[in-house]
Amino acid sequence: MAGRFATGITVVTTVTDGVAHAMTVNAFTSVSLDPVLVLFCPEKAARFHDAVIAAGVWAVSVLGEEAEEASRWFATRGRELSGQLDGWTSRRGRHTGAPILRGAIAAIECRTHAVHDGGDHSIVVGEVLGVGRPDPDGSPLLYYDGGYHRVRPR
């Protein structure tokens, strides 16, 4: 039934030991306004899980409707660790140094505030350090009922 809930799609990134790590995430939400907190839920078995916990800082690129290919790539299990962002234009975040994908409709940089157990996932809560709108005119890419969708204007 969770698949019947439409979600936006993000790519969360971090850097550890000079290596950039990225993962597609749709379990992302706002938590608090004071302090400003957000959360995402990485699977404990994913390589990204240990990298983001170790780094302590991360960035969220909210994907626009043209980013389905990026979403699929960063959701691919077992892709090569080195150079996984090759072929994707990004810039390093000012607050975290984590990559922010070009074409993102929003970018959020965070410092890990807390990590909670969530079964086979962790609930990673981040304190927001900075926000941006790299593509302010873009529309979001959505995931619903097992597939990608775009927002259609009325």
- pLDDT per residue as tens digits for the range 4-33: 888 999 999 999 999 999 999 989 999 999
pLDDT-derived band at 53 (thresholds 50, 70, 90) equals very high
Mean pLDDT of 128-153: 89
Strand arrangement, sheet containing 147-150: 7-8, 141-144, 147-150
What is the model's pTM? 0.94
**What does the block give as tokens for 63?**
């994907």
Lowest mean pLDDT segment, chosen from 17-21, 53-57, 59-63: 17-21
Is the distance from CB of 62 to CB of 70 less than 8 angstroms? no
CA distance 37 to 40: 11
Domain 2-150 belongs to what topology? Answer: Pnp Oxidase; Chain A (2.30.110)
Stretch 93-122: mean pLDDT: 96
Query: Would you list the domain boundaries of the chain?
Result: 2-150
Q: How far is CA 72 from CA 31, 64, 114, 122, in A?
A: 26, 13, 28, 22
Cβ contacts of 2 within 8 Å, gap of 6 or more? none
